[in-house]
A and B are shown apart, each in its own frame.
Chain A
């Protein structure tokens, strides 16, 4: 290091002195320090530990009749539970998935075909689609219809028309029902979370 400061070297490379080296290293370490100090401030905005603590919701499915739909709150968001009729299951399974915007087989979206369990938040801009109540507009595919911007979902909760880019999500943002954050604890009870 001492060689760098030799007058002969300095004369040969007038821009490179020991002072430049010190400035650069001190600046770099200072920059890292500032960034490391800012991060805790920024991170306070991310979900806090109590918010993150996975709340679990247990739902008894026994009272839900065939064809009936139920909404339960989980993590502050609605989860749609649909007890699908055989016609609804058939309609969902018979779709040629190559035509879908977000292609997915119905069998990948359910653990048991008669129970569809999805997060009831439109993947467009987060509204809650209609279709849970019997009088609601369910759209031409008999699934759900989002009144905000007109997205239409089928009986598997897959996007069919309108601006939404993706199918209604499974709990926990999972791609496959087998990885979703819900499980059957008995034949008629599920635990979400």
Chain B
């Protein structure tokens, strides 16, 4: 670095960095940033979700240039994008399936955090910011789903906004306020469009905070132990840029499969029927990524104490996410990674199965066995969060942790040549 006669580029960079340390920041956070040397492919989903956020904003801005947020014209403007606008079908399918891909990635990212205890000290705020991002994503996706103004759009908007009518006393007033009328209609569509455009940029801001919190203590890792020195880390570039890039390529293959070969597989055919406020489709289902919450909502068919079944369902559906805010304190085990937790390692998968079961319940009409399964799965979800997490942490005897990431990764504490120094860049 002690080049006494820097080239023109270097001098420009130096001039900028002296005034705004931008290049310096990028170099520090994306190039030399020390990263645990043992990250598996489960650590790809953070950067993947960041890329999806960019894809969604880019495709969304393009769609916005062709879309009309008016109840009379919205459906037709989407069909015009599909039929008349050059590559409109492509941009719309990228955006539409992108929503599903985004949620799939975010959910894997979330369960990765659950398995490896990424929410534990000192990463509680990192986790909480992640849950805030999830809530914002759900709100954004819901409002985006309303915009094509098909039957499912309209009735999803009706059912979800009506959730707020469960609030005692002020509920009906709030619903009228949300609608800007006496039913979901033109004013509702306009404001949902405005918010659907606004919220992603708020998500960008929270994602930046998420990254600041992440880079404060660095990534967790499959062993769940802190990195203790340079022998435990490697620079982010090129080791993880290339690993992320490879993962991105595999992911894009799957994404492209949906866009080009099954663009409507994850959607509901009813949404190609224009919205009709006078007729409800026989079977209303939300998009797949909201099915578990929907299942919890419907599972409460009986009043709980003095709370009506409707309000109780709404409270529990929201609580299923809000409870994640408290997870860092509900989980009493000091050991992060499930690899060293002989009981939690198995119980974790019960939660995965439980959430998949809730998804299945949400997709089916609430009759017979579906209701029973939904009630059991809802009950288990909260038992898992409120009782199993604190209890297992106390009962379980964790397996001994390795002395360091380097020792475990390189086998029995043996050190390769150049040990003690950060791995040199090729």
Contacts and interface: CB of A to CB of B under 8 A. Distances in A.
Interface of A: 45-48, 51, 71, 73, 75-78, 121, 124-128, 146-150, 162-165, 173
B182 A47 contact: yes
A124 B312 CA distance: 12
B398 interface: no
Nearest to A129: B280
A19 B226 CA distance: 51
29 contacts: A45-B178, A45-B191, A46-B177, A47-B176, A47-B179, A47-B180, A47-B181, A47-B182, A47-B187, A48-B180, A51-B182, A51-B187, A73-B278, A75-B181, A76-B277, A124-B162, A125-B158, A125-B162, A126-B158, A126-B159, A126-B165, A128-B279, A150-B367, A163-B300, A163-B309, A163-B313, A165-B308, A165-B309, A173-B172
A73 B279 CA distance: 11
Contacts of A165: 308-310
A77 B277 contact: yes
Given A128-B279, A148-B280, A46 B176 contact: yes
Contacts of A78: 277-278
Given A47-B176, A47-B180, A77-B182, A128 B280 contact: yes
B182 A126 contact: no
Best-buried of A121, A146, A163, A165 by chain B (most CB within 10 Å) = A163
Contacts of A76: 181-183, 185, 277
Contacts of A173: 172
B170 to A, nearest CB: 13
A75 B310 contact: no
A45 B180 contact: yes
B278 A164 contact: no
A163 B187 contact: no
Contacts of B167: none
Given A47-B182, A78-B278, A127-B159, A147 B177 contact: no
Contacts of A125: 158-159, 162-163, 310
Contacts of A163: 298, 300-301, 309-310, 313
B158 A127 contact: yes
Nearest to B278: A78
A46 B313 CA distance: 27
Given A45-B177, A121-B183, 10 more contacts: A45-B180, A47-B176, A51-B185, A71-B278, A76-B182, A76-B185, A77-B182, A126-B162, A147-B282, A149-B298
B115 to A, nearest CB: 34
Contacts of B181: 47, 51, 75-76
Contacts of B110: none
